[in-house]
Amino acid sequence: MMHKIAERGVGALLTTLVILAALMFGGLALLTRDAAAQTAPTTDWQRQLDSAVTAEMARTMTPGVQVAVVHQGRVIYAKAYGAADVETSRPLTNASLLRIGSVTKMVTGAVAAELAEQGKLDLRAPISRYVPSLEGKRVGTVTTHQLLTHTAGWLDNAVAYGRMGEGALGEVMREVTDTMFSHAPGAIISYSNPGFSMAGYVIERAAGERYASITDRMILRPVGMPHATFRPLEAMVRDFSQGHMGMPGRAATMVRPFTENTAQWAAGFLMASATDMARFAAMLMDGGVIDGQRVISEGAVRRMTTPDPRIPGDSTARYAYGLVIAEQQGLRIWQHGGSINGFDAIVNMFPDEKLAVVVLDNRSGPSVSGALPIVFRGVTGRALPASPAPPSAERLPTADERRAVVGQYKFGPMRIEIAEQGDSLVFRQAGASFGVRMLGNDRMKVMVPPMAQQANVLLVRGADGRVAFLHQGLRAIPRVEP
């Protein structure tokens, strides 16, 4: 949702989520309101892209991949590879609908921003204005702006299966209590799927219309996404893909039952094609206009692309409304990825070039990677600037670093202890202990057996110099003691 609904643990994208972990590949089509027809690659970079995708699908054993590249308002490469499901070998097409996980958040952000421009939603008002059942509770004091920027201090969960029926969003959101808090609002960015679900309910209340209906009316249909939908019963009568999962290096199996939790639609359950999302990206990069028609106001685009909280560990990356906003050697980038049981998605936009690459796949797990530089060079004639390499030299922590970080940390039911062990540190979670090494300043590497998998954790210090939060996968885990 969801970065992953089963979420790659608390982890996965650290702040390098920002760009180059992207998966990109393609075919050719004009930007029309119908799914783009597939054609063979016609240029050198398209042929390189085609080869890269095919090779990566084999490496990751991914059944199906869908790609669209949009430039200057045209989809210049759109292609679907492989199968929509492994049991029937039904081919994946450009029209196939796939779950796009947390990429949904940029759509939710667009709706909220446009309602604000229309004067129907005050993004800085306490959400209890729109959800009266929260009046008098601390949880009702946060703002929609904080929910959309992950600064409300709320816990995260990504629940693959839950209540169904479009009333479920309100049923669940009206029940939230102050136990939702992990830490004080505004303290730090900490990714929260429930926060975006609540933003979806605030949208409902402000607009007087069901979340899916207002999204259809304001965004999906005007953009030209004819079959994109949150509703599984609508997707079932269209060309849609099944999700797949499996251990790395092994063939994937279909996810059963099909994932559904209506209460978290706004956080990560949209079903769309890569071409659909390419049109959405083109609309954003053109200031709210597509095919000469305005979908949302320029003010709404400014709102949803104006970054607010800085992402720890990255000098430029900040979060806006469902978008990571970054700059790499002067190159502006708008980006978001997503995962949900059986599906992965990523959208990278380069607004100054009006270039976007959308990749959807139907297997959770290892990402198809390495194609974004091919697209960027092929389209712009320039190399994609490299992101700064994180420190790689390992070392033992100093005595001062040990004193600063030892303690207890808690994120909902998850508890972590960091303790001294001789001249080093040990990371304890769920009865297991893991070795620790430092990587540069305020970055810790935790070695997880049995295959020495690596989890990088950022240390975020408070005003007293002691570590106040562990930050990983955009989640902030607060220190609770000593």
Alpha-carbon span 130 to 155, nearest angstrom: 21
Buried b (16+ CB within 10 A) or exposed e, 103-135: bbbbbbbbbbbbbbbeeebebeebbbbbbeebe
Alpha-carbon span 399 to 405, nearest angstrom: 10
| pLDDT one-digit tens code per residue, 227-254 | 999 999 999 999 999 999 999 889 999 9
Of residues 214 and 21, the one with the higher pLDDT is: 214
| pLDDT one-digit tens code per residue, 37-94 | 565 678 999 999 999 999 999 999 999 999 999 999 999 999 999 999 999 999 999 9
Domain ranges of the chain: 1-388, 394-481
| pLDDT one-digit tens code per residue, 429-477 | 988 999 999 998 899 999 876 544 678 899 999 988 899 999 998 999 9
Q: Integer distance in angstroms from the first to the last C-alpha of the chain?
A: 33
Q: Is the pTM of this model over 0.85?
A: yes
Q: Do domains 1-388 and 394-481 have the same CATH topology?
A: no
| pLDDT one-digit tens code per residue, 325-378 | 999 999 999 999 999 999 999 999 999 999 999 999 999 987 788 889 999 999
Q: What is the mean pLDDT of residues 205-213?
A: 98
* Sequence-ordered strand ranges (E) for 28-158: 64-71, 74-82, 98-99
pLDDT at position 298 is 98
- Average pLDDT over the chain, rounded to whole? 89
pLDDT at position 25 is 26
Nearest to 356 by CA among 38, 103, 47: 103
Which superfamily does CATH assign the domain made up of 1-388 to?
A: DD-peptidase/beta-lactamase superfamily (3.40.710.10)
Q: How many CB atoms lie within 10 A of CB 137?
A: 14
| pLDDT one-digit tens code per residue, 397-420 | 999 999 999 999 999 999 999 999
Tokens for 110, please give them.
């667009």
Alpha helices in 94-242 (DSSP H): 104-117, 144-148, 168-173, 193-207, 211-215, 221-223, 232-235
Q: How many CB atoms lie within 10 A of CB 184?
A: 11
- Whole-number percent of the chain with pLDDT over 70: 91
| pLDDT one-digit tens code per residue, 96-117 | 999 999 999 999 999 999 999 9
Please, which residues have CB within 8 angstroms of residue 145's CB and are 6 or more apart in sequence?
Answer: 123, 124, 308
DSSP state of 126: B
Of residues 13 and 262, the one with the higher pLDDT is: 262
253 alpha carbon, distance to own chain's centre = 24
Q: How many CB atoms lie within 10 A of CB 334?
A: 23
135 alpha carbon, distance to own chain's centre = 30
Buried b (16+ CB within 10 A) or exposed e, 237-251: eebbbbbbbbeeeee
8 A C-beta contact, residue 421 and residue 273: no
Nearest to 7 by CA among 257, 259, 182: 259
Alpha-carbon span 199 to 25, nearest angstrom: 32
The CATH fold assigned to 394-481 is: Lipocalin (2.40.128)
